[in-house]
Chains A and B, each alone.
Chain A
Amino acid sequence: MESDDYKTFVNLLQRNEAALRCFIRSLLPSWNDVDDLMQEISLTLWEKFSTFDQQTEFLKWAYVVARFKVMNFRSKKGRERLHFDDDVLELLASEIEDEEEDEKLPEKALHSCIEKLPEARRQLLLNSSQKGVTVKSIAEELGKTPKSLYRTLDRLKIKLFECIQTELQKDLL
């Protein structure tokens, strides 16, 4: 029945949405808003879902579809922004595709590191990381120049990144 299929699909997509989005972001770093593309990809995934062998891993299958879509997107819109050459894109995509499940989203580390940030900083970082929120608008709100806000955010993210790397190291010990 169509509805059962759809439920299975929604479920699978929901579980893998974050990984998929991350995949696209990594291949198209200068497009930080990948919603449209993500929408296009999920519709294609649904259209092709009948061809998906449910015994195999959904994410791997989705990656293949997504990689193809990203290539398309890049040739269509590539002029607008910086984008990777084919060989780099292929290299990154195949490396991410080969990653093991637990390597993909060290969310626990992210959460615990975010917790460690001072409240105001954490708030600023989360506010500015929301989809559709521009740093420019937040800078205006705070009476700062975008440039100085970018500096603050960049430093915060480096700090957060270092924290995550350390946390992940800990897990290996």
Chain B
Amino acid sequence: MTKNDFIELIQRLERNDLSEDEFAQFQELIKTDKAYREIYKSYMRMSSSLTDMASLESDDQKAWQQESSTPQKTPTLIKYSGWLAAAALLVYSFLLPKTEPVESIAKVPEIEEAQSSGVAVITDLVDVEWVGGSYTTGQALGLKPIEVSKGIVKIEFFCGATVVVEGPAKLEPLSAWKAICHTGKLRAHVPPAARGFTVNVGDTEVVDLGTEFAIDATGDEKTIQVFEGEVELNSQKLDKHSLTTGKMIKLKADGETEQINQLNPDFIGMNDLQSLRNSKNKEAYSRWLSHSKELRTDPRLLVYYDFTQRDFHRRVLENNTSHGKERSGAIVGADQEPGRWAEKSALSFKQPGDRVRIHIPGEYTSLTFMSWVKIYSLDREWNSLYLTDNYQIGENHWQIMKDGRLMFSTKIRDDFDVKNNLHVHVPNFSPSFWRPEFRGKWVHLAVRLDVEKQQVTHFVNGKTFSTHPAQKGYELTTTRFGNGEIGNWGLPNRADESYAIRNFNGAMDEFAIFADALSDEELLEIYNAGNPYK
């Protein structure tokens, strides 16, 4: 029996498709021949890893559905099963009941997606200083404590409860339904769907039965108060004590409790946070605007679209360099949508036809491209940021691959692989920069072609992401543009759809090309000035 014949037996065994005789023969081989046994074990190892790898993402989704569709019925249930049922559901997909076979083809898993599993998500941060691990808006929280020495954190638990935490504070999510407030102040908003949401403070368990409560655990004396609705307190001392609207209870250090019919209004709620957020945004916008106005005068700019124009219905994307209208872009299809701040707009690229056409004459050497983009998804094999219509010598293509790698390539030589109908070139692929928390969030991307240093560098959020020295025989020299497109590819001359369709699925709210290699510091400064999450 050849090795492949043997593997074929394994494959059929895996789908229970061997006859008794064949299986007897198979067992005999395994038993008597170590070589076959080794092949068998290695193959099963691959098979199992393959399942694990492929199921990463779909498990997260199932776990999430499971968790969110099973509100804990009674506080006692939470107490009793807290650990094994609630926490484990998310950590361990296999503790879930079996789900029905998925009928249609599921999405190709993004391996990194596993990181996005969790029990809650951070939805706003104001003036936060982290202790230990730091987080960004949009990032999911697992079962690890988070700690801040100052600032405000808004956390939305997957059960539907929203918690506004004021630092200094330490909060530890235990599941999508439960957290421990070690220190600090928090205000929890619990809609009906999230009833049963529980916060532990000291040895007291606070189970919300609807609406809004707050906890102050800044000192030795801790207080729990109800703005609206009702909470149930469980501890050895209190034993199912109920607290209703307008009531506060003090848990003293000596274990005594005291009920007070007055509330401390000094907790930041969702509305307060929102107005704080609004004024923060105003500040950030004007910071960016003054930086942007200065940038416009930079003589190295070839094009600069800052998206501050009021109207887009004339289908012109205004260029804000000394070259003026000549370099303005022609908008095709793409719609206006809110930009990084309410004060300005962005363009949204959704349909396969959406694009901005631009023309840049002349010849250059070093170049820097940069843009603020919001990616909804990477649908295509190649997702365009900027592509010249053709791909002649000196022309550049800047795109994102489906798997999240950044790609920048310059046509250096005119070799053509006729057999494979391919240009011979050296594309500069970064590793994948894509992280699940980037989806739908503003990200700053840049790429620098440095003729002097003979290297191409990709930047993500102001920092060097990957550097690619030019290869021998493919030295970087002259660069050109001519006609080109932002967010799409104009004139594909091949019928192969996966090759030709490269429309970007996302939004863009700043785009520039410089005829020079900007320094690392300059790119970091541009990022800092435009970062809407600061």
Please, which residues of chain B bring their CB within 8 A of the CB of A135? Answer: 15
CB distance from B234 to the nearest CB of A (A): 16
CB distance from A40 to the nearest CB of B (A): 10
Binds B, one of A22-30, A56-64, A69-77: A22-30
Please, which residues of chain A bring their CB within 8 A of the CB of B106? Answer: 127, 130, 133
Asked whether B87 is an interface residue with its Cβ less than 8 Å from the other chain, the reply is yes
CB-based contact A29/B14 at 8 Å: yes
Asked whether B59 is an interface residue with its Cβ less than 8 Å from the other chain, the reply is yes
Please, which residues of chain B bring their CB within 8 A of the CB of A46? Answer: 84
Q: Size class of A's contact patch?
A: 35 or more
- Supposing A13-B92, A87-B31 touch, asked if A123 and B50 sit within 8 A by C-beta, the answer is no
CB distance from A12 to the nearest CB of B (A): 12
The interface centre, meaning the residue of B7, B8, B23, B46 with most chain A CB atoms within 10 A of its CB, is: B46
**Which of B58, B87, B95, B402 is close to A131, meaning CB atoms less than 8 Å apart?**
B58
* Chain A stretch 138-163: residues in CB contact (< 8 A) with chain B: 138, 141, 150, 154, 157-158, 160-161
CB-based contact A158/B4 at 8 Å: yes
Q: Chain B, 82-110, contact with A by CB distance < 8 Å: what is the 0/1 string?
A: 01100110011011101111111110110
Asked whether B10 is an interface residue with its Cβ less than 8 Å from the other chain, the reply is yes
Q: Chain A, 14-51, contact with B by CB distance < 8 Å: what is the 0/1 string?
A: 10011001100110011011011011001100100000
CB-based contact A129/B27 at 8 Å: no
CB-based contact A157/B83 at 8 Å: no
Residue of A whose beta carbon sits closest to that of B108 = A123
CB-based contact A95/B43 at 8 Å: no
Asked whether B41 is an interface residue with its Cβ less than 8 Å from the other chain, the reply is yes
Please classify the interface of chain A as helix (H, G, I), strand (E, B), loop, or mixed, using the class held by over half of its residues. Answer: helix
CB-based contact A129/B53 at 8 Å: yes
* Chain A stretch 62-106: residues in CB contact (< 8 A) with chain B: 81-82, 84-85, 87-88, 91-92, 95-96, 104-106
CB-based contact B50/A110 at 8 Å: yes
CB-based contact B51/A131 at 8 Å: yes
Count of chain B residues near A, Cβ 8 A? 57
Asked whether B113 is an interface residue with its Cβ less than 8 Å from the other chain, the reply is no
CB distance from B78 to the nearest CB of A (A): 14
CB-based contact A25/B44 at 8 Å: yes
CB-based contact A126/B41 at 8 Å: no
Docked Cα-Cα span, A17 to B264, in Å, equals: 48
Docked Cα-Cα span, A46 to B41, in Å, equals: 27
Please, which residues of chain A bring their CB within 8 A of the CB of B46? Answer: 110, 157, 160-161, 164
Please, which residues of chain A bring their CB within 8 A of the CB of B84? Answer: 6, 43, 46
Docked Cα-Cα span, A26 to B41, in Å, equals: 7
CB distance from B114 to the nearest CB of A (A): 11
A to B contact number (C-beta, < 8 Å): 169
Please, which residues of chain B bring their CB within 8 A of the CB of A84? Answer: 27, 30
* Chain B stretch 476-524: residues in CB contact (< 8 A) with chain A: none
CB-based contact A82/B13 at 8 Å: yes
CB-based contact B94/A91 at 8 Å: no
CB-based contact B104/A141 at 8 Å: yes
Docked Cα-Cα span, A165 to B454, in Å, equals: 39
Please, which residues of chain B bring their CB within 8 A of the CB of A92? Answer: 30, 37, 40-41
Asked whether A53 is an interface residue with its Cβ less than 8 Å from the other chain, the reply is no
Please, which residues of chain A bring their CB within 8 A of the CB of B149? Answer: none
CB distance from A165 to the nearest CB of B (A): 7
Docked Cα-Cα span, A91 to B104, in Å, equals: 39
The interface centre, meaning the residue of A6, A30, A131 with most chain B CB atoms within 10 A of its CB, is: A131
Please, which residues of chain A bring their CB within 8 A of the CB of B40? Answer: 26, 92
Docked Cα-Cα span, A87 to B14, in Å, equals: 20
Please, which residues of chain B bring their CB within 8 A of the CB of A141? Answer: 104-105
CB-based contact B87/A18 at 8 Å: no
The interface centre, meaning the residue of B11, B15, B49, B143 with most chain A CB atoms within 10 A of its CB, is: B49
Please, which residues of chain B bring their CB within 8 A of the CB of A160? Answer: 46, 50
Asked whether A171 is an interface residue with its Cβ less than 8 Å from the other chain, the reply is no
Residue of A whose beta carbon sits closest to that of B26 = A82
Please, which residues of chain B bring their CB within 8 A of the CB of A39? Answer: 94-96
Asked whether B286 is an interface residue with its Cβ less than 8 Å from the other chain, the reply is no
Docked Cα-Cα span, A39 to B52, in Å, equals: 15
Asked whether B18 is an interface residue with its Cβ less than 8 Å from the other chain, the reply is yes
CB-based contact A127/B98 at 8 Å: no
Q: Chain B, 58-91, contact with A by CB distance < 8 Å: what is the 0/1 string?
A: 1100000000000000000000000110011001
Q: Chain A, 110-138, contact with B by CB distance < 8 Å: what is the 0/1 string?
A: 11001000010011011101111111011
Docked Cα-Cα span, A130 to B14, in Å, equals: 14
Docked Cα-Cα span, A29 to B16, in Å, equals: 8
CB distance from A74 to the nearest CB of B (A): 14
Residue of B whose beta carbon sits closest to that of A142 = B105
Pick the 10 closest A-B CB pairs, nearest first. Answer: A22-B48, A129-B54, A26-B44, A30-B16, A126-B54, A131-B55, A38-B94, A130-B54, A129-B50, A25-B48
- Between A and B, 18 residue pairs with Cβ closer than 8 Å are A18-B49, A21-B48, A21-B51, A22-B44, A29-B14, A30-B14, A35-B98, A42-B95, A82-B18, A82-B20, A84-B30, A88-B31, A106-B45, A111-B53, A125-B54, A132-B98, A133-B105, A150-B11
User: Which residues of A are in contact with B by a Cβ distance under 8 Å?
Assistant: 2-3, 6-7, 10, 13-14, 17-18, 21-22, 25-26, 29-30, 32-33, 35-36, 38-39, 42-43, 46, 81-82, 84-85, 87-88, 91-92, 95-96, 104-107, 110-111, 114, 119, 122-123, 125-127, 129-135, 137-138, 141, 150, 154, 157-158, 160-161, 164-165
